[in-house]
Structure 1
């Protein structure tokens, strides 16, 4: 990802490797901040014309965004009586705008990203610290403006995740790409993930439709995969290693994999050939979710086309499990659709209990 900030629909990605914000002034002075304000004003223009009239008046949305950002900069350093702005003639309205901008920003699924170079050592502590400081800075911008406008400090503080919902460390791994899969070259691998709980996602769809079709092999080399728009989650699914390449617009589906499948470490990626490969959110113009067996490389490959409906996590999870099951059946194993729990008895013995049934039958609930 080359941009320092990327926003599309309900997903926002903050690239700390391109730009990291150390002060509140750096945040409000950034092009990214102006972009969020402008996006908010355009939304208000459609949804709340009255509030838009207060913000923009007869000005263009771009000029209104610049004026509002300028006022926020002043509010961070000056007292209210030192600022000359027409917005301050209606402090209640201005306070409503500040609250609304803050909630608008928090309505996005927000992920910070740090790219780790091979020369860097343990980045884990630094990446958690960097994301935590960013959250504190965003919260400080909001609270400073809010308390300055209302003329008093708050008595109750809500310590929410103001900056991000999650964070990823990614790195380049030069794994031995097999013939025909060169389109995946340069796509960074997910190394570590930070989840800020509770992580509540609001996908455009909450159900899965259709089926995953086994088709004749297609040319992976023709897939439009860009190293600047994709990430790879190397998942350990049972005994198998599956490389899951996902488009950045579906970053939170990719991040959610961490709740189900362990991340493979760098040594496993370098030394072990993947058993399956999934390309998720590919702009092929197709509508069907498909997979095939690549005889020459002896792996199963899945392709899920870019569509709004695949924002639902079930598409990614089920395709991963479909690839896993197909690969295991080829090895002579029979997958069972069920849930399992190990029962530990007082005498030290352990028994496995399996519940098998259709989707929605209550297998997990029984456990």
Structure 2
């Protein structure tokens, strides 16, 4: 499927807002969707559809006749309507249900611009109420027509998201950017997002490949951005302010950022230059792969992903933002980690903070999830500081860990059975019935992400050796070698296969700045060793097919015992 043909539906509530069923049926948007559905049926050659079409005289248009029936059936009883189509009421009933499903299979977005007017627009203060009401009107319209056609009430009612999946509140762009970024000046700002859970999105790609390369020129200076085709979402990646510009055909993953990163409030971005500017879905012909550029003059880290099916995968959006943030952290003297950090509060009020380091598929998230299940009766609280990317810094003479994200982007297979569905009121599901199915779930308060937690233990997640347990390093130089080699067995979360190595298990920043990162590794690991912070390897066995479940559970069990010893020491 071509990305250009994958057209989500956007309705501008400033210009069009239907209060009643009749207003919906009379709208141009409804007629366009109806015509598109009938064209779809004509291509399928269903026998029931051919029978329904043949009931209409050749001098009449089936599209118009069906619309007339819809309007009449809302006012009159079936036996009061004189029309050949009404004699095929069961076929019409099937048509209505197929049409309803066709509509709901689209990605549907309602937008409202705060500063714009419109004769039929809604008041900005009442957008949420209007958005909810519209969903109810669409559902009511469907029910009234379908029930009237068969002359009986349904016995089961499902309160589905019948109108729109997501509401997007926009504001006119009042940000003052440096002159070289003026092409972005008119792109509207996303102020807030409304989800009708569960939000389920499908993308044309479900894996990420390669590392991001550095450009020698600023790709934004030669690009143009239409306000009709682009959105800007201001978010916070750790302590970095990022302006994420995405093409409207990537709206499903663009709005999903709301579950992963803390949205920035207007007072936080309006008069502040961003640390990061990221373009997702650009059309600069000189850029044919996801790349970055460091604008040293303005001290802005620029990311750019060209318009393609590949970057429909949410991982590209997430990882580019983390790469740009990590490059900034390296320049500021902090050490980016690809891993997870948890703060564990035991029932005796002792708190221990553990860091697991490893590349995609190493078993970090799986071990943390297994630990959460296994230790639930022994601990008071388990707080996730970061689930994928963080950094080490120095605070009050101690090595501390900082996070980047308020949520987790995890494989459904990595979670305890049913866990994501217990969080269905907050979860976003991406390709849930396909390979590498993912969910984006809020997990952490932003205050915890940027607070800085003392590191009590740091472990490398090894998924490629068939061993059990945890081994600690006596020699810090040996520890540096293991962490720096970044070995893992690829398990399908990226395009890699077999045993692979990535510098410091982190292709998102450290790979692009190896010399600076080596200096930081020396500094922080020596600091950890000097302060007697345990450094080791935890064997997750996730790379072995028959141990994908038992391996992380075994690792979690041994980790719990190690932490309990640490607690007593």
Deviation string 1:82-137 (CA, Å, 9 cap, x unpaired) is 22222222222111110000000110111111111299xxx786222111101001
Q: Equivalences for 1:15-30 in 2 at 5 Å?
A: 15-30=12-27
1:69 and 2:67 matched = yes
Q: Which residue of 2 aligns with 1:329?
A: 330
Distance 1:209 1:46 in 2: 36
What's the offset of the Cα at 1:349?
A: 4.2
Q: Which residue of 2 aligns with 1:279?
A: 279
Q: Which residue of 2 aligns with 1:108?
A: 106
Name whichever of 204-213 and 350-359 sits farther off. Answer: 204-213
Whether the 8 Å contact between 1:250 and 1:311 is mirrored in structure 2 is yes
Q: Equivalences for 1:199-278 in 2 at 5 Å?
A: 199-278=199-278
Distance 1:18 1:274 in 2: 32
Q: Equivalences for 1:158-173 in 2 at 5 Å?
A: 158-173=158-173
Deviation string 1:252-309 (CA, Å, 9 cap, x unpaired) is 1111000011111111111221001011112335531111111221111111111123
Rate the CA distance shift 1:118–1:109 in 2: closer, same or farther, 3 A. Answer: closer
Q: Secondary structure at the match of 1:200?
A: strand
Q: Secondary structure at the match of 1:342?
A: strand
Q: Which residue of 1 aligns with 2:523?
A: none
Distance 1:114 1:256 in 2: 18
What's the offset of the Cα at 1:246?
A: 0.7
Q: Secondary structure at the match of 2:32?
A: helix
Q: Secondary structure at the match of 1:222?
A: coil
Distance 1:312 1:168 in 2: 21
Distance 1:338 1:263 in 2: 23
Q: C-alpha root-mean-square deviation of aligned residues, in Å?
A: 2.2
Q: Secondary structure at the match of 2:11?
A: strand
Rate the CA distance shift 1:95–1:258 in 2: closer, same or farther, 3 A. Answer: same
Q: Which residue of 2 aligns with 1:81?
A: 79
Whether the 8 Å contact between 1:136 and 1:162 is mirrored in structure 2 is yes
Question: Which ranges of structure 2 fall in alignment gaps of 5 or more residues?
Answer: 118-122, 369-569
What's the offset of the Cα at 1:49?
A: 3.9
Deviation string 1:231-264 (CA, Å, 9 cap, x unpaired) is 1110111010000001111111111000011111
Rate the CA distance shift 1:362–1:298 in 2: closer, same or farther, 3 A. Answer: same
Q: Which residue of 1 aligns with 2:30?
A: 33
Question: How high is the TM-score relative to the length of structure 2?
Answer: 0.60
Whether the 8 Å contact between 1:357 and 1:363 is mirrored in structure 2 is yes
Q: Secondary structure at the match of 1:180?
A: helix
Rate the CA distance shift 1:200–1:69 in 2: closer, same or farther, 3 A. Answer: same
Distance 2:190 2:144 in 1: 35
Number of equivalent positions = 357
Distance 1:232 1:13 in 2: 16
Could you say which structure has the larger radius of gyration? 2
Q: Secondary structure at the match of 2:200?
A: coil
Question: Which ranges of structure 1 fall in alignment gaps of 5 or more residues?
Answer: 1-6
Q: Which residue of 2 aligns with 1:340?
A: 341
Q: Which residue of 1 aligns with 2:311?
A: 310
Q: Which residue of 2 aligns with 1:354?
A: 355
Q: Secondary structure at the match of 1:221?
A: coil
Question: How high is the TM-score relative to the length of structure 1?
Answer: 0.91
Whether the 8 Å contact between 1:28 and 1:73 is mirrored in structure 2 is yes
Name whichever of 109-118 and 326-335 sits farther off. Answer: 109-118
Whether the 8 Å contact between 1:10 and 1:107 is mirrored in structure 2 is no
Whether the 8 Å contact between 1:185 and 1:227 is mirrored in structure 2 is no
Rate the CA distance shift 1:298–1:110 in 2: closer, same or farther, 3 A. Answer: same
What's the offset of the Cα at 1:224?
A: 2.6
Whether the 8 Å contact between 1:110 and 1:163 is mirrored in structure 2 is yes
Rate the CA distance shift 1:8–1:68 in 2: closer, same or farther, 3 A. Answer: farther
Whether the 8 Å contact between 1:41 and 1:52 is mirrored in structure 2 is no
Q: Secondary structure at the match of 1:225?
A: coil
Distance 2:5 2:76 in 1: 34
Deviation string 1:305-341 (CA, Å, 9 cap, x unpaired) is 1112322211211111111112211222221001111
Distance 2:61 2:365 in 1: 54
What's the offset of the Cα at 1:55?
A: 5.2
Whether the 8 Å contact between 1:114 and 1:170 is mirrored in structure 2 is yes
Name whichever of 202-211 and 94-103 sits farther off. Answer: 202-211
Q: Which residue of 1 aligns with 2:366?
A: 365
Whether the 8 Å contact between 2:52 and 2:91 is mirrored in structure 1 is no
Whether the 8 Å contact between 1:231 and 1:246 is mirrored in structure 2 is yes
